Structure formats: C-alpha cells, structure tokens
Amino acid sequence: MFKSGFVSIVGRPNVGKSTLMNNVVGEKIAIMSDKPQTTRNTIQAVYTDEEGQIVFLDTPGIHKPKNKLGEFMVKSATDAFRNVDVVLFVVDDSKKIGPGDRMIIEDLRKIKTPVVLVINKMDQIEEQDLFDMMKMYHAEGLFKQIVPISALKGRNVKELLKVIQNHLQEGPKYFPDYMITDQPERVLASELIREKVLHYIHDEIPHGVAVEIEKMKSRKDKEIVDVSAVIYCERDSHKGIIIGKNGRKLKGIGKSAREDMELLLGSQINLQLWVKVKENWRNLQSSVSNFGYTEK
Ligand SMILES: Nc1nc2c(ncn2[C@@H]2O[C@H](COP(=O)(O)OP(=O)(O)OP(=O)(O)O)[C@@H](O)[C@H]2O)c(=O)[nH]1
Ligand SMILES: [Mg+2]
C-alpha cells in the first residue's frame, strides 16, 4: 500500500522548521539562519520512499506581526493548519511554554488535523530536562505523539518520518520522484542571496531586505548561467552597510550565494549583484506583493 499526504511544519520563529525540512529531503530548499523570521513564504518539499510520499510545507515562524510583510507571513503559516493530513508543531529547547508557543497551542486546539509535537534541538537538551518537557507537553492533551529530534544533526528524523507515515492514508504519488520542491529556480536563487545577507549583515537590516532576480539565463555555447539580482533594503545607510568598505561585504555575499547556487542548480553561475533602496517597503502592500509575498 502506498501512503501519501501533506504535512505542515509550524511553530515560533527560529525553532528549526526549515532545518528539519531540508534535512528530510537532503537539499537546501528553504533558507536557514540564526535570526528569527527567516522564512517568509510557505515552501513545499517532497519526500518519497518505497512506502509513500510526504509533501512537507515549511511555514514562516508565527509571531506578532509589525508590518504588512509580517501579516502575510503569519497568515501563510496559520493557513497551513488546515487542508493538510498532519501538523508538525515544532518547539525548541525552551524548558517552559512561553507566550508565543501558548498562543499557537490554543489555535491548534481549534483544528481537527492531528498534531504531532516535535521537540527540536535535542542535542542541546539534558536527558532529565527532555523528560520533563515531554511530560509538560503531554499534559496539554493535544498531541497525538511527541518526538524529540535534532534537525541539525539528523537525530531521530527517521523515527519522525515513521510517525508521520502512521498518520497517513493510502494515496497517490502527487509528484514524480525527481521533483523535490515547488519553488522555481529563480526563487531558490533569490532566497540563497537573502540567506547570505542574513548571514553577513546583522541587527534589523536583513529583515528589511528583499531580493529580486532580474535575469537568469543559460549561455548558448557554455554550461554557464548568468544571474543578475537586486538586493533591496529600506534605507540609504543600510545600502552602505550591505555593500561594505570597498564593496567587501557584497563580494562575500555574492561569492557564497554563487557557491550555494552552483551546488543546488548543478551548473556554473555568473552572479551580478546590485543594491537598491525601497523605503518602508514592508509596510506597503503593493511592494510586499511585488516581491512575491502574496497568496498564490
Ligand atoms: N543546536 C541546534 N540548532 C538547530 C537545530 N535545528 C536548527 N537549529 C538552528 O536554529 C536556527 C534556526 O533554524 P531555522 O531552520 O532557520 O529555523 P526556522 O524555524 O525555520 O526559523 P523561521 O524561518 O525564522 O521561522 C539556525 O541557526 C539552525 O542552525 C538543532 O537540532 N540543534
Ligand atoms: Mg524557516
């Protein structure tokens, strides 16, 4: 019997949702960073084995939105509570249930979909603490199962897949084996650039960054793809910081984005980057939509 279904991965920002999804499919489909609110769109990745197919939906971290972009992100995440077969609610190594997690738990009580609790970052949790956390979450009476994992180290992820498969029904193969994501190459490329901005630039600046691919084209005679992209930020002063002294920051961002793109897309990349300012774009509905943060 071939089982299949849709599984959304939800939780507060920075708990490791994207790391988990990437670990399952073995590719960097969703970008990751140590800063909260990294993921902005719901992103699909497909895991297929002999027993079945699981379509994962990685979602933005649920938080109190402060602008139009945040509103879009939270709506994308909470929309993924419904029309799926299983919800994975991911928490991190926090020993208490904070207000952010509490809010999500109360929302999850309102849905009929089975919820599996994933305690991530177990590599950072003492055995006794983990035991206490499992007891604490069990007392909520909401979760079909509680699975501790380390998404970063890949610990217990196989066991989590088994738990998910137990909740799935017989179903079709929705996607062919070679297809592991719904994200077009342009989007994957722009996200890798944004990931490097998150990595190289600190404080609030990367939260106000959006990346637009202006051109992505294979050369006729060679195995090279020319990519040109614009990094938009919210202020002139941010632009200077992103470019850096003698353009050094931007070079670093470009180099490591190019390396990741070559790995992911399997071809040689020639990457050109520009930085432009679009003031206050996160508060402007039109700009937020234009950057692709809009319901599909
Ligand atoms: N120690 C440890 N760190 C982890 C683990 N999983 C993820 N992380 C780290 O946690 C941080 C956040 O990871 P992400 O996967 O970007 O988290 P996210 O939940 O997708 O975050 P948002 O997209 O902002 O909602 C990164 O620095 C990861 O390396 C884990 O199992 N153990
Ligand atoms: Mg994420």
Cβ of 283 less than 6 Å from ligand 1: no
Q: Which of 7, 247, 38, 242 is nearest to 115 (CA)?
A: 7
Per-residue model confidence (pLDDT) at position 188: 96
CATH 3.40.50.300 region(s) of the chain?
A: 3-170
- The CATH fold of domain 3-170: Rossmann fold (3.40.50)
Atom 9 (ligand 1): residue with closest C-alpha? 16
Residue 15 CA: nearest ligand 1 atom is 19
Q: What is the mean pLDDT of each run of 10 residues along the chain (296 residues)?
A: 97 98 97 97 96 97 98 98 97 97 98 97 98 98 98 98 98 95 96 98 95 95 93 97 97 98 93 98 97 90
CATH 3.30.300.20 region(s) of the chain?
A: 185-290
Torsion 135-137-142-144 (CA) sign: negative
Cβ of 151 less than 6 Å from ligand 1: yes
Per-residue model confidence (pLDDT) at position 44: 98
Query: CA–CA separation, 229 vs 216, rounded Å?
Result: 9
Per-residue model confidence (pLDDT) at position 290: 96
Instruction: Please state whether beta strands 43-48 and 52-58 pair in parallel, antiparallel, or not at all (unpaired).
Output: antiparallel
Cβ of 170 less than 6 Å from ligand 1: no
Query: CA–CA separation, 59 vs 42, rounded Å?
Result: 4
Per-residue model confidence (pLDDT) at position 103: 98
Per-residue model confidence (pLDDT) at position 260: 97
Query: CA–CA separation, 247 vs 235, rounded Å?
Result: 17
* CATH H-level superfamily of 185-290: K homology (KH) domain (3.30.300.20)
Per-residue model confidence (pLDDT) at position 296: 74
Per-residue model confidence (pLDDT) at position 221: 81
Per-residue model confidence (pLDDT) at position 62: 98
Confirm if 140 and 116 have CB atoms less than 8 A apart: no
Per-residue model confidence (pLDDT) at position 271: 98
Cβ of 18 less than 6 Å from ligand 1: yes
- Residue 221 CA to ligand 1 centre (angstroms): 41
